[in-house]
């Protein structure tokens, strides 16, 4: 196992996969002179929450006003220029919720006014409402903007959010293609970037609360191999000070990080949800807690070392994520650099796939040896095969085969197999 983990240490930490930018006319806000505005054509076509509503534009000797309409109901960004005070009055509304407003002198460029007055702190009520709405509709967890972390605001799109979910190495290429094809069929009005980042994950399965298979080493480790395409670090039983016992699975796993504006978050989730995918609605087949997406503030993983979440209620599983600590390695491969050099991005993906294939093949050989040992009469191997067939982990679920191997192992005195048969009433 140590040899496999050494091989995995060569995995790239960050793999840029895809970048999309909508086809928009450019109109730099920094160069906007509010005193020279005479018509909607003098204003940026897109700003923060949506596209310019030309019909909303009004002008008089007192100044002018305009509204940028979002793709969601009752979502808009409003700018009023008051000639008498030579100042801007800026306000924003998302799904009927007033976010924030500001007054700033027109001598300050509009892009700077927006970033400094509206997005030094993301609207708390928007975060709270989004969490309630999205967690009620989708199988995901939304992490609200912590007070001590910076809000990343990019003009003209506003604050960004990231959808992050675990993905097996073998699925990186097809999922990238699926996202590309989806956007090609129906272009987005907002930008999207997609990266795969290597994350250390520790899963604490509460004994007696989590599924029984989480206590069975052979099954849990093989299931982890399927979910990650990488060798897990191990499964151990731990007991806390409160007396609770948990089986802890430690592993490395790639997470897909999809960065997009907050204004497009609901629309993107709706477009990408599918009953067998990583983004699922509450009516789709259930996705295990540790495999569900997280919606986090942009660059959250760059500003904090780790995070921990519980499922439930009732609580059965604790998810702990430790992000890459080598910030130099991550920062040296920016999204812009990677997509300007497609060959480099392709090489990183090929590297990850090659390492994963080597690891999977090595572990599969171990399982093949277990099967051979069971057929040659090894009781421990027979018991492990029984567990695999009973749970369907790594093999097709086959209860007849499971009972066969449990019985063979029990007949040779394997206590675990005998206990399982007794529990199953056999």
In this predicted model, what pLDDT tens digit does every residue of 42-57 receive, in sequence order? Answer: 999 999 989 999 999 9
- What pLDDT is recorded for position 333? 45
Is the pLDDT assigned to residue 329 strictly greater than 60?
Answer: no
What's the CA gap between 319 and 289, in Å, rounded?
8
Tell me the pairing of strands 234-239 and 245-261: antiparallel
R_g of the chain, CA atoms, integer Å: 26
Is the pLDDT assigned to residue 317 strictly greater than 90?
Answer: yes
- Span 60-68, average pLDDT: 96
What's the CA gap between 267 and 218, in Å, rounded?
41
Q: How many CB atoms lie within 10 A of CB 120?
A: 11
Task: Summarize pLDDT for 218-235 with one digit per residue, the tens.
Answer: 778 878 988 999 999 989
Whether 230 maps to a domain, the answer reads no
Number of compact structural domains in the chain: 2
Residue indicated by tokens 């007070």 = 147
Do 206 and 154 share a domain, yes or no? yes
Do 143 and 263 share a domain, yes or no? yes
For residues 364 and 143, which has the higher predicted lDDT (pLDDT)?
143
Do 269 and 341 share a domain, yes or no? yes
Do 93 and 184 share a domain, yes or no? no
Is the pLDDT assigned to residue 328 strictly greater than 90?
Answer: no
Whether 265 maps to a domain, the answer reads yes
What's the CA gap between 139 and 282, in Å, rounded?
6
Do 78 and 15 share a domain, yes or no? no
Q: Mention every residue, 6+ apart, whose C-beta is less than 8 A from residue 22.
A: 187, 188, 189, 190, 191
- Among 301, 334, 357, identify where a domain stops: 357
Is the pLDDT assigned to residue 21 strictly greater than 50?
Answer: yes
- What pLDDT is recorded for position 121? 85
Mean pLDDT for the chain overall = 89
Number of residues written out for the chain: 426
Is the pLDDT assigned to residue 334 strictly greater than 80?
Answer: no
CA distance from start to end of the chain: 35
Whether 387 maps to a domain, the answer reads no
Is the pLDDT assigned to residue 322 strictly greater than 60?
Answer: yes
Do 260 and 334 share a domain, yes or no? yes
For residue 307, is the peptide bond before it cis, meaning its omega torsion is within 30 degrees of 0? no
Boundaries of domain holding 156: 2-22+124-210+253-357
Global confidence as pTM: 0.85
Q: How confident is the model at residue 90 (pLDDT cuts 50, 70, 90)?
A: very high
- Among 316, 340, 357, identify where a domain stops: 357
Do 43 and 10 share a domain, yes or no? no
Question: How large a percentage of the chain has pLDDT more than 90?
Answer: 66
- Among 49, 78, 108, identify where a domain stops: 108
Whether 415 maps to a domain, the answer reads no
What SS3 class is residue 424?
Answer: coil
- What pLDDT is recorded for position 327? 47
Whether 403 maps to a domain, the answer reads no
Joined tokens for residue 425: 């009433």
Do 288 and 312 share a domain, yes or no? yes
Q: How confident is the model at residue 284 (pLDDT cuts 50, 70, 90)?
A: very high
């Amino acid at each position: 196992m140590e040899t496999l983990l050494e091989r995995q240490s060569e995995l790239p930490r960050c793999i840029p996969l895809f970048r999309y930018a909508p086809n928009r006319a450019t109109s730099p806000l920094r160069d906007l002179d509010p005193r020279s505005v005479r018509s909607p054509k003098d204003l940026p076509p897109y700003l923060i929450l949506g596209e310019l509503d030309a019909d909303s534009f009004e002008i008089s000797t007192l100044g002018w006003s305009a509204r940028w309409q979002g793709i969601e109901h009752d979502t808009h960004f409003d700018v009023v220029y008051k000639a008498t005070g030579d100042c801007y009055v800026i306000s924003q509304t998302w799904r009927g919720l007033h976010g924030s407003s500001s007054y700033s002198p027109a001598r300050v460029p509009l892009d700077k006014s927006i970033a400094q007055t509206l997005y030094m702190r993301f609207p708390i009520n928007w975060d709270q409402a989004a969490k309630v709405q999205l967690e009620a509709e989708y199988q995901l967890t939304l992490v609200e903007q912590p007070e001590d972390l910076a809000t990343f605001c990019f003009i003209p799109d506003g604050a960004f959010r990231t959808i992050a979910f675990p993905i097996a190495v073998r699925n990186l290429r097809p999922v990238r293609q699926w996202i590309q094809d989806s956007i090609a069929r129906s272009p987005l009005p907002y930008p999207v970037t997609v990266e795969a980042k290597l994350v250390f994950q520790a899963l604490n399965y509460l004994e007696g609360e989590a599924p029984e298979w989480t206590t069975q080493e052979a099954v849990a480790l093989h299931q982890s191999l399927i979910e990650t395409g990488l060798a897990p670090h191990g499964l151990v039983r731990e007991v806390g000070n409160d007396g609770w016992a948990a089986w802890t699975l430690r592993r490395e796993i790639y997470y897909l990080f999809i960065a997009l504006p907050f204004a497009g978050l609901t629309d993107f989730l709706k477009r990408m949800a599918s009953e067998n995918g990583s983004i699922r609605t509450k009516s789709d087949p259930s996705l295990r807690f540790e495999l569900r997406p997280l919606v986090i503030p942009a660059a959250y993983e760059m500003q904090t070392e780790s995070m921990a979440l519980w499922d439930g209620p009732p609580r059965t599983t604790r998810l702990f994520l430790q992000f890459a600590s080598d910030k130099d390695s991550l920062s040296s491969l920016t999204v812009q650099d990677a997509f300007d050099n497609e060959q480099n991005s392709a090489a990183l993906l090929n590297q990850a796939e090659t390492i994963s294939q080597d690891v999977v093949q090595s572990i599969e050989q171990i399982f093949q040896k277990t099967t051979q040992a069971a057929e040659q009469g090894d009781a421990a191997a027979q018991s492990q095969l029984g567990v695999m067939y009973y749970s369907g982990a790594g093999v097709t679920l086959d209860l007849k085969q499971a009972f066969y191997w449990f019985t063979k192992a029990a007949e040779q005195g394997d206590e675990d197999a005998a206990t399982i048969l007794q529990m199953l009433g056999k």
